[in-house]
A and B are shown apart, each in its own frame.
Chain A
Amino acid sequence: MSDPLLRLSAVGKTYPPTVHSSERLRAFWQILKSGRSEGGARVLDSIDFEVRRGESLAIVGANGAGKSTLLKVITGVLAPSSGEIERQGSQAALLELGAGFDPEYSGLENLRMNAAFLGLGRREVDEKLDDILSFADIGESIHEPIKHYSSGMVVRLGFAVVAAVTPDLLITDEVLAVGDESFQKKCIRWIEAYLEQGGTLLMVSHNMYQVQKLCRHALWLEGGRARKLGDVFDVTQAYLAWHERRDADAVRQSTGHATSQTYGVHALAIDAAGEGEPRLALGEELVVRMALRSPDERPPVALLGLVRADGTPVYGVASDHDEVALQAGQDGLYHLVLRFPGLPLLPGGYVVRGHAMDPEGLRVHDTAELTFTVTGRSRELGLVRLPHHWET
């Protein structure tokens, strides 16, 4: 029961150079002699993880992080350049819906062929044919050649075959991104039922909502390396926060730093336990500490904003909105603390922006930024948790 269905130890993959025929010949001899070829571009580097029966693991990462290559290596379409892969039990892989379809043949013929690719014998196909056809729901078109199908129909047929297979380990690569809304829901319902019955899932998806809904664990790949492996919420939140920050990089470049000749932000901090980037749980109190300076001993106006890591504004408030006057401390700086009790921000990456404005509150003279992460297990959508209650 606790035996892993899949175990990867130190798996690495390099794509060999294949442009020149001399390179191909050299690789040919190397593989014939030693079973490995040398050199090339590294796309996966020492990946370790295992998938146990009943587990569900998502692989997330930016484009080019090596997700698809990893799946190809796991399914055996590609040979790993280093490391070991152990497999137990039956495995059905959907690297691309309809990949095994031949457009010249009818849906039914392709269905049989694909079922065989996924490990379903002829007799089993006959037994399950009605189920498959009703799942695919493409009617009489099943007797038409696939080349006359819409892409949606191809997807339906492709997934319907998989749904009939029920392997020990199901591997899918971004296959639920296609097909219309209602079919996606049907697929997700099927996967949920499959997981409830003890099925094991390994999936690649860019849809974090799907990932959080279907998987309990996640692996974040970046540049071919495992950056984070663990609970699906921790990993996807860290991944999303990283993504949003990367998108916001360009925006951040443009914020200048004021000289001492003008109103400026001297310090900006968030109260949080531990080293490094502040981390807060959903619903905790956010405490922002700020110190401003003034060139002429007139108290500046503090403006504080919360934005999501991708730059979406969430909330902003200035000290003069609330008619708060800043007081100079003994060090000549204007210290202030802003508290947000019961922070309603949903899990993700955020930025606090502290601005120093002139005493009239008309112009922003300086800006400082500080990123922080809100953690928590929540599948709610949007930026903030609004107070609500259900009535039924």
Chain B
Amino acid sequence: MDTISFSIFGQLTARNLRSHSAGTATVSLWLVVTPLLLLAVYGFVFGVIFKARVPSDLEIPFVAWLALALWPWLAFSDGALRGAQAIKQHAVLVAKVPVPRVLLTASNQSAAFLLQMAGYAVVLVALLGLGVDFSLRSLPYLLLILFSLYVFSLGLALLLSAVQVFVRDLEQLLPTLFMLWFFLTPILYVPEMLPERGSVLLYLNPMTWWVGEIRAALFYDKWLPDLTFLGLAAIALLTLGIGKKVFDRLSPHFEDFL
């Protein structure tokens, strides 16, 4: 990426970040309070009302088990969904300004992803403060996993934003599809809770592996990448490759169909 594209990407991303927090009193307060509130709500609903269980070999509150996977999921799905809307949202730019369109999608996706990551950091610190035991030496590996998740999300965002220009119904459909995907990923539950046949399906879902790897890193002290991570990285890069290829193919025709 040349410096101009980088500058455009940076400014668009900064704008996106700001537009999320527009209208609130202070950005920092908002960044800290919202994730904590969300954490409290989930902790109450699943820990107190449903009395959900964590895997038997772990001694942690359920809310920690949940939170560790929930925010990466939010980053992934928010990134993909907001990225998918980018071309339509920036229709004026697409029509009038010869700007590299890939930057529009990438900045939307990156801003959404980064925002959830900031929330993730707040939540992790809060959980540490509550006395939840994490493997701190796994943090670098966690960042690597999250980066691969970012790449996966970016690939999907590129693919979806390009296709959505042509298939308008996708806009209505995507949030529902992602919600379904959310429930098919072991975030709110432990994979072992599913019957045998269901769990096969579960492991065809790449997000199951990402979530599993994140939990393995922080709860089970997995601090070095192995074959599982290579698999995830391969999926991420493949998705990005396909997404970029489809996007590049379709993007010269966006203005005709917007």
- Residues of B near A27 (CB, < 8 A) are 166, 253, 256-257
Q: Is A79 an interface residue (CB 8 A)?
A: yes
Interface string of B75-117 (1 = CB under 8 A from A): 0000000000000000011111111000000000000000000
Given A28-B166, A112-B11, A77 and B249 contact (CB-CB distance below 8 Å): no
Closest Cβ of chain B to A200, distance in Å, is: 17
Q: Is B129 an interface residue (CB 8 A)?
A: no
Interface string of A82-124 (1 = CB under 8 A from B): 0000000001010110011010110001001100110111100
Closest Cβ of chain A to B21, distance in Å, is: 13
What CA separation (Å) do A99 and B91 show in the bound complex? 11
Among candidates B8, B11, B166, B252, residue contacting A24 with C-beta atoms closer than 8 Å: B166
- Residues of A near B255 (CB, < 8 A) are 72, 77-78
Whether the Cβ atoms of B256 and A95 lie closer than 8 Å is no
Whether the Cβ atoms of A28 and B97 lie closer than 8 Å is no
- Residues of B near A102 (CB, < 8 A) are 15
Which B-chain residue is minimally distant from A120 (CB atoms)? B4
Interface string of B222-244 (1 = CB under 8 A from A): 00000000000000000000000
Whether the Cβ atoms of B168 and A32 lie closer than 8 Å is no
Interface string of B1-36 (1 = CB under 8 A from A): 001100110011001000100100000000000000
Interface centre among A25, A32, A72 (most CB of B within 10 A): A32
Whether the Cβ atoms of A99 and B167 lie closer than 8 Å is no
Among candidates A15, A24, A76, residue contacting B167 with C-beta atoms closer than 8 Å: A24
Which B-chain residue is minimally distant from A13 (CB atoms)? B256
Q: Is A21 an interface residue (CB 8 A)?
A: yes
- Residues of B near A32 (CB, < 8 A) are 246, 249-250
Closest Cβ of chain B to A48, distance in Å, is: 21
Among candidates B7, B15, B163, B168, residue contacting A122 with C-beta atoms closer than 8 Å: B7
Q: Is B169 an interface residue (CB 8 A)?
A: yes
What CA separation (Å) do A119 and B4 show in the bound complex? 6
What CA separation (Å) do A105 and B12 show in the bound complex? 12
Closest Cβ of chain A to B91, distance in Å, is: 11
CB-CB contacts below 8 Å: B161-215 with A: 163, 166-169
Closest Cβ of chain B to A88, distance in Å, is: 15
Q: For this complex, into which size category does the number of interface residues on chain B fall?
A: 20 to 34
Given A18-B257, A21-B168, A24-B166, A99 and B11 contact (CB-CB distance below 8 Å): no
What CA separation (Å) do A309 and B200 show in the bound complex? 81
Interface string of B138-166 (1 = CB under 8 A from A): 00000000000000000000000001001
Q: Is A341 an interface residue (CB 8 A)?
A: no
Given A18-B257, A117-B8, A25 and B166 contact (CB-CB distance below 8 Å): yes
- Residues of A near B256 (CB, < 8 A) are 15-16, 18, 27, 37, 78-79
CB-CB contacts below 8 Å: A100-159 with B: 100, 102, 104-105, 109, 112-113, 116-117, 119-122
Among candidates B97, B166, B167, B257, residue contacting A100 with C-beta atoms closer than 8 Å: B97
Q: Is A274 an interface residue (CB 8 A)?
A: no
Closest Cβ of chain B to A89, distance in Å, is: 14
List B residues at the A interface (Cβ < 8 Å). 3-4, 7-8, 11-12, 15, 19, 22, 92-99, 163, 166-169, 246, 249-250, 252-253, 255-257
In the complex, besides A78-B255, A99-B97, 20 extra interface pairs with C-beta distance below 8 angstroms are: A18-B256, A21-B167, A24-B167, A24-B168, A28-B163, A31-B166, A31-B250, A35-B249, A37-B256, A75-B98, A77-B94, A77-B95, A77-B97, A77-B98, A95-B96, A96-B96, A105-B15, A113-B12, A119-B4, A120-B4
List A residues at the B interface (Cβ < 8 Å). 15-16, 18, 21, 24-25, 27-28, 31-32, 35, 37, 72, 75-79, 91, 93, 95-96, 99-100, 102, 104-105, 109, 112-113, 116-117, 119-122
- Top 3 closest pairs, chain A to chain B, by CB: A79-B252, A99-B96, A28-B166
